[in-house]
């Protein structure tokens, strides 16, 4: 006999009687021993809003008192997005434990209390890499390695590992599957989910399918046929969605259209959710709440939960909508043609605006124009603050240095992030400390004044992926500085993603000048790494080696962004 409550996969038992009994126990519903799963797929087009839907649902479930975990399965063959161009993939979001992940994980952390990790983002490249390594070690005992069962088993094991390695009991795991149903790249993931549903039991799984319902101007109506075909593609794989979320642009989904989709896709009417375009972004979960998305999911998963507490979130959204003051920030960078390249920075400014009761208008300025005869004053004079953001490579660097010089000399509030801190140090060394040839060895390997140089542990590395200084590190703050005032603490943990550092050989000569202030450092053995720099006598000039934007949420703005926007408002 199988002890009641013990979760044993039915396939592992020998007798038919034990298999039947174990299966009944396995699927009997939530009793504190079984984690439930929500899988989010997308159809018709890419960028349909799966990430926001997953994050929004996570918020709603947490508001009901449930513990959640979140995960993104990406179908591309890169092991992670760390080596991908931001124009190609958008920003790389970094977790506390140093994982370079998809930008959707940023949405997860901004909408929920989840702290994500290396286990939270899985790619096709990562899966195949793990399977091939196992094959090389002989772990498959000479068997032919195939997509089924070896690739699909590896995918399922990653999903289980998200909770089995956790010390916190998780009620619901939300898993977003990247790509579009029908793409060949997504097939192994979808097949793994089909198998996973059978293994944990249908009552413990819920599939949400997000699709586009396009409006045809000539016909004057929304067309449901693409959604029907998308669901049919899912069914061909063996997955029947339980909930369908319809992106309708600025249009409302009528009751007749809702009923039509429900009928042809074999879904209940109340499980058809209209996802009309809503601004601001953080109001979207409230729209899902009005349509009782959380109630529908909880009913499907047989979960009893408390009443929602979204008062704080609703108050934040109302505060965001009611802002009347405006501040203009010039964000100087080189990936200015792609909003997702700096997604977390853009959102951090929204959060800082909420806490300062203002609307932050961020305008991305191409730094290369300042290298081609355009004067920074002609472009930047109308802004209340200047930011120089992260990046790699030498393109546009001299333009960024000129932007920093303009902000310093004209006492315009300035925030530098990662590369932004490095170019700020170079500018101060050149124009305040007399080191006219100051540069970074990233841009000029032969410079005789390497103010910025390669981290010692980076020397000799050939692999580019996953080898940077990544994740959260402690930063000790100097009392009496802008950074210390912003954080209100003596130390803080912030996330990093860089290969180069401030060269301490030049620390004394720069300090003697009196302009540069080192306000944050990290002790690495006997080596002190400069984390934050400021400019003495400037109303607000602060630049960090770390990425503060990754720790900003709409309910709690990141301190450096908050105080930067406050200084810009005062100006």
Same domain (yes/no): 397, 420: yes
Tens digit of each residue's pLDDT (9 = 90 or more) over 511-567? 888 899 999 999 987 788 999 999 999 999 999 999 999 999 999 999 999 999 999
Same domain (yes/no): 327, 310: no
Q: Which residues pair with 244 in a beta bridge?
A: 209, 272
Residue 108's pLDDT is: 97
Which domain does 179 fall in, by range?
A: 35-314
Same domain (yes/no): 307, 378: no
Same domain (yes/no): 171, 81: yes
The answer to whether position 15 is within a domain reads no
Same domain (yes/no): 100, 133: yes
How many domains is the chain built from? 2
Confidence of residue 83 (pLDDT cuts 50, 70, 90): confident
Residue 393's pLDDT is: 78
The more confidently predicted of residues 23 and 521 is 521
Distance (Å, whole) CA 54 – CA 112: 10
Assess contact for 238 and 202: CB atoms under 8 A.
no
Residues across the chain: 571
Same domain (yes/no): 109, 157: yes
Structural domain ending residue among the three candidates 262, 280, 314: 314
Assess contact for 378 and 403: CB atoms under 8 A.
no
pLDDT at 21 over 50: no
Structural domain ending residue among the three candidates 267, 296, 314: 314
Q: Which residues pair with 533 in a beta bridge?
A: 518, 543
DSSP string for residues in 95-139: -TT--EE-THHHHHHHHSS----GGGEEEHHHHHHHHHHHHHTTT
Same domain (yes/no): 486, 531: yes
**Percent of the chain at pLDDT exceeding 70:** 90
Same domain (yes/no): 363, 295: no
Q: Quote the strand ranges of 149-289, DSSP E.
A: 172-177, 205-212, 215-216, 221-222, 243-247, 272-275
**Where residue 528 sits, what CATH number does that domain have?**
3.40.50.880
Tens digit of each residue's pLDDT (9 = 90 or more) over 153-206? 999 999 999 988 666 689 999 999 999 999 999 999 999 999 999 999 999 999
Among candidate residues 42, 33, 107, the one with its CA nearest the CA of residue 71? 107
The more confidently predicted of residues 122 and 462 is 122
Catalytic positions: 418, 547, 549
The answer to whether position 452 is within a domain reads no
Confidence of residue 466 (pLDDT cuts 50, 70, 90): low
Tens digit of each residue's pLDDT (9 = 90 or more) over 415-425? 999 999 999 99
Same domain (yes/no): 306, 369: no
Q: Give me the mean pLDDT over the 255-269 stretch.
A: 94
Distance (Å, whole) CA 49 – CA 246: 10
Same domain (yes/no): 367, 232: no
Same domain (yes/no): 405, 343: yes
Residue 502's pLDDT is: 92
Residue 548's pLDDT is: 97
The answer to whether position 477 is within a domain reads yes
Three-state DSSP string of 7-23: CCCHHHCCCHHHHHHHH
CA 378 from centroid of its chain's CA atoms: 35
Hunting for tokens 């909420």 — which residue is that?
Answer: 354
Among candidate residues 543, 280, 548, the one with its CA nearest the CA of residue 422? 543
Residue 337's pLDDT is: 64
pLDDT at 371 over 70: yes
Tens digit of each residue's pLDDT (9 = 90 or more) over 292-351? 999 999 999 999 999 999 999 999 999 999 988 999 999 998 766 667 788 999 999 999
Question: Can you read off the two tokens belonging to residue 250?
Answer: 């600025």
Across the chain, mean pLDDT equals 89
- The answer to whether the bond into 4 is cis (omega within 30° of 0) is no
**Percent of the chain at pLDDT exceeding 90:** 76
**Where residue 151 sits, what CATH number does that domain have?**
3.40.50.300
Structural domain ending residue among the three candidates 253, 280, 314: 314
Same domain (yes/no): 156, 267: yes
Residue 224's pLDDT is: 94
Helix (H) or strand (E) segment spanning residue 452: strand 450-454
């Amino acid at each position: 006999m199988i002890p009641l409550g013990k979760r044993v996969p039915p396939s592992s038992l020998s007798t038919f009687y034990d298999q039947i009994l174990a299966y009944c126990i396995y699927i009997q519903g939530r009793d504190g021993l079984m984690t439930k799963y929500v899988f989010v797929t997308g159809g018709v087009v890419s960028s349909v809003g799966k990430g926001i839907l997953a994050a929004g649902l996570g918020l709603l479930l947490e508001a009901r008192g449930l513990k959640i975990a979140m995960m993104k399965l990406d179908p591309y063959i890169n092991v992670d997005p760390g080596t991908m161009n931001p124009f190609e993939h958008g920003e790389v979001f970094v977790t506390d434990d140093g994982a370079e992940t998809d930008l959707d994980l940023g949405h997860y952390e901004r909408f929920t209390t989840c702290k994500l990790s290396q286990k939270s983002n899985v790619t096709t490249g990562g899966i195949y890499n793990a399977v091939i390594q196992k094959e090389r070690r002989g772990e498959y005992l000479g068997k032919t390695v195939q997509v089924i069962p070896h690739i699909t088993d590896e995918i399922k094991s990653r999903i289980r590992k998200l909770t089995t390695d956790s010390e916190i009991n998780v009620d619901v795991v939300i898993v977003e599957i990247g790509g579009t149903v029908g793409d060949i790249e997504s097939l192994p993931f979808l097949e793994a989910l089909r198998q996973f549903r059978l293994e944990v039991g249908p009552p413990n799984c819920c599939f949400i399918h997000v699709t586009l319902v396009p409006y045809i101007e000539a016909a004057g109506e929304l067309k449901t046929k693409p959604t029907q075909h998308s669901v049919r593609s899912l069914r061909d794989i063996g997955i029947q969605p339980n909930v369908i979320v319809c992106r309708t642009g600025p249009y409302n989904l009528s009751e007749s259209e809702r009923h039509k989709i429900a009928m042809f896709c074999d879904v209940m009417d109340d499980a058809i959710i209209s996802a009309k375009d809503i601004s601001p972004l953080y109001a979207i979960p409230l729209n899902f709440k009005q349509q009782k998305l959380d109630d529908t999911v909880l009913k499907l998963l047989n979960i009893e939960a408390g009443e929602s507490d979204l008062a704080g979130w609703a108050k934040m959204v109302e505060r965001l909508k009611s802002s009347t003051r405006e501040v203009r920030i010039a964000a100087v960078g080189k990936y200015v043609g792609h909003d997702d390249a700096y997604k977390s920075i853009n959102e951090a400014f929204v959060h800082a605006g909420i806490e300062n009761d203002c609307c932050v208008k961020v305008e991305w300025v191409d730094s290369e124009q300042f290298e081609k005869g355009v004067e920074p004053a002609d472009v930047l004079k109308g802004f209340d603050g200047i930011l120089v953001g992260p990046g790699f490579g030498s393109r546009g660097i001299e333009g960024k240095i000129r932007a920093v010089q303009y902000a310093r000399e004209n006492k315009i509030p300035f925030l530098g992030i990662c590369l932004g801190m490095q170019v700020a140090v170079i500018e101060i060394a050149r124009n305040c400390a007399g080191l006219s040839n100051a540069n970074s060895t990233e841009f000029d390997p032969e410079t005789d004044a390497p103010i910025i140089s390669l981290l010692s542990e980076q020397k000799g590395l050939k692999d580019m992926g996953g080898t940077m200084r990544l994740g959260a590190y402690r930063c000790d703050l100097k009392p009496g500085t802008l950074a210390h005032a912003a954080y209100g603490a003596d130390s803080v943990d912030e996330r990093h993603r860089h290969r180069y550092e401030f060269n301490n050989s030049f620390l004394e000569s720069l300090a003697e000048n009196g302009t540069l202030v080192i306000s944050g450092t990290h002790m690495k053995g006997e080596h002190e790494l400069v984390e934050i720099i400021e400019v003495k006598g400037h109303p607000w000039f602060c630049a960090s080696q770390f990425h503060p934007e990754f720790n900003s949420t709409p309910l709690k703005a990141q301190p450096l962004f908050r105080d930067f926007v406050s200084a810009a408002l005062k100006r």
